[in-house]
Homo-oligomer: A and B are copies of this chain.
Amino acid sequence: MKPTKHNWRTKLHEIIYEADTPTGKAFDVILLIAILASIVLVMLESVKSFDAKYHKFLDIAEWIITILFSIEYITRIISVNKPFKYIFSFYGMIDLLSTIPKYVSLLLPGTHSLVALRALRLLRVFRILKLARYLGASNQLATAIRASRAKIAVFLFAVLIAAVIFGTIMYLVEGEENGFTNIPKSVYWAIVTLTTVGFGDIAPATSFGQFIAAIIMIMGYGIIAVPTGIVSAEYTKATGKDKGKLSDEEIDQLQSVHLNTQCCVNCLTEQHQDGAEFCYKCGCKLHHET
């Protein structure tokens, strides 16, 4: 059943939000290049010696990128039925944050460095590349990480409590004269130590402090095993499953797995099944070429 009405907005939506048509794919590739270029630009600009030499060139390039991103932002808004849903979505906020500082810097010169917030747009790379898809078996990896996430979160919460307790003890033991100037800083030190990062910007100076530090480090060394063990076991489970012994429902799941990149014009819901005619969330008609 062919959709009957093909106005410009539907077209735009197809190009910008989906990747099933050639133009949609081309848009994604160009966007990816633009994002990477904008990051490189921001980096070069931050290097003072480079900026001094090529300031003019960088400024012009910066403006071109900003205007392109602005156009993209506006087009994204006008091509969806519920623009506010996009504007207040996570990616909508980031898209805004990566264009606005350049304009604001015209009025308030000091704020120019905020263009660096554009680095957050790199997160869109995950969306465009759909990185996980590029590797056949990565659904298993995703499954393993998803299965481990909650347990690792609880685990890291426990690590955090340990850091607060150890940090407070070190504050009492070492005191201000050895760099442990206040409890938040001591907790920061405890995290640096427990995670085996060990900057050394603060280090225990008293014998007793070093003794406690040794305990913290050996603990950190022992407990790093826990999250690793979790992911490892979950991943073993996830990869073990699809070795021939799939249950009926799992086969069903796998068969229905191919979800296309279409995106509902009305509610921005993604991942519709390949033959879907209507959005599974809001029931709105999906527009696609046949």
Residues of B within 8 A of A183 (CB): 42-43, 46-47, 116, 119
A227 interface hit (Cβ, 8 Å)? yes
- When the two chains form the complex, which single residue of B181, B231, B245 contacts A228, counting CB atoms closer than 8 Å? B231
Q: Count residues of A near B (Cβ-Cβ below 8 Å).
A: 97
In the complex, A113→B180 CA distance in Å? 13
Known: A48-B182, A218-B195. A161 touches B225 (CB 8 A): no
Q: Could you list which residues of chain A lie within 8 angstroms of chain B, going by C-beta atoms? A: 39, 42-43, 46-48, 113-114, 116-117, 119-120, 122-123, 125-126, 131-132, 134-135, 137-138, 141, 144-145, 148, 150-152, 154-161, 164-165, 167-169, 171-172, 181-185, 187-188, 191-201, 203, 207, 210-211, 213-214, 217-218, 220-222, 224-237, 239-240, 243-245, 247, 253-254, 256-257
Between A and B, 9 residue pairs with Cβ closer than 8 Å are A145-B226, A184-B211, A191-B217, A199-B199, A200-B200, A228-B231, A232-B236, A244-B254, A245-B253
